[in-house]
Homo-oligomer: A and B are copies of this chain.
Amino acid sequence: MSKRVVTFGEIMLRLAPEGYNRFLQAQSFGAVYGGGEANVAVSLAQLGLDAAYITKLPAHELGQAAVNTLRAVGVDTGGIIRGGDRIGIYFFERGASQRPSKVIYDRANSAFALSKAEEYDWERIFEEADWFHLTGITPALSEELARVSIEAVKTAKRLGLTVSCDINYRAKLWDKATAGRVMSEILSNTDIYIGGRGQAEDLFGIRAELKSEDDYDAYKPVAEELVRRFGLKKVSITLRTTVSSDRNKWAALLYDGKNHFISREYDISIVDRVGGGDSFAAGLIYALEEGMNTRSAVEFAAAASCLKLTVEGDANFVTADEVKALAFGSGSAQVQR
């Protein structure tokens, strides 16, 4: 079994007004193709792992452009199903200072959202893979995709893959009760839990009692309860503090069932805030696949996501050496000549 990571989800066309223009001011939109799981795949491929991405995309040129985006960085797109009518779209308006970023989703009825269970042959998809990653967005897109997601993690577990799941709870996509039920079943088949600060509370009522916004220790009991409840092997919680649209603080906690490690905290001037969590997931998967210990893994993953926020687009265009230089090196921001 080689180090091959399979991810599964929806890749969308992201359209963003240039610079700080608001939607009402835009005369053009920068276009990239991204989505939670695709961002993980793109990041993993650039970190140096064998990454495969499973989705469904229309046969037309916009679907092809999404495929090409993935292939360019070396993601294996051989398992992508082609068909259906439309690619999901999301419009992204970049915020600034006190003005928040804004997203208009136009993803309903996409080829992926309408895809069917019988289109995915998980046994074949998982051949030669040792890791499967998904997020809580995919099961939220349709009841069918919720069933598909559960089937996927169960198959993965049965075949001996490590399963990681990024909670990514979006209240607008599904109701809390359904989400809690489906995610519980998925997490029961998951090894590595990844989630943002409040998500365990939102979905499962597991609340961190914060003394202050940077009271990161407060998340330790949350991680422990998650392990207890779902039989997880590791729990990671990303600790983002939104100082403003331009500035975030970022750290992360990783609990391996025995010990908790909290990474350095980064104070970040943001270039593009999208994909922070995805780059963390990719960093964590890479670190664990490479055999790093818990402390190193959380540092690597946090540094990877710190760098993501300094890179344009949804996906993390950084190498493992760049991440290591930040995570374990001097962290100097001097020019590299």
Using a CB–CB distance below 8 Å, which chain A residues touch chain B? 15, 18-32, 60-62, 64-65, 68-69, 71-74, 85-86, 89, 91, 93, 95-106, 108-109, 170, 172, 242-247, 266, 268-273, 303, 306-307, 309-313, 317-318, 322, 326, 331-337
Contacts and interface: CB of A to CB of B under 8 A. Distances in A.
A18 to B, nearest CB: 7
A336 B273 CA distance: 12
21 contacts: A18-B28, A20-B272, A23-B61, A23-B64, A24-B68, A24-B73, A28-B28, A28-B30, A60-B104, A62-B104, A68-B72, A69-B72, A71-B72, A71-B74, A72-B72, A86-B108, A89-B89, A97-B271, A244-B269, A245-B333, A247-B269
Contacts of A268: 97-98
Contacts of A18: 28
A273 to B, nearest CB: 7
B72 A91 contact: no
A238 to B, nearest CB: 13
| Copies of the polypeptide in the assembly | 6
Contacts of A91: 62
A153 B231 CA distance: 60
A102 B24 contact: no
A310 B246 CA distance: 11
A22 B337 contact: no
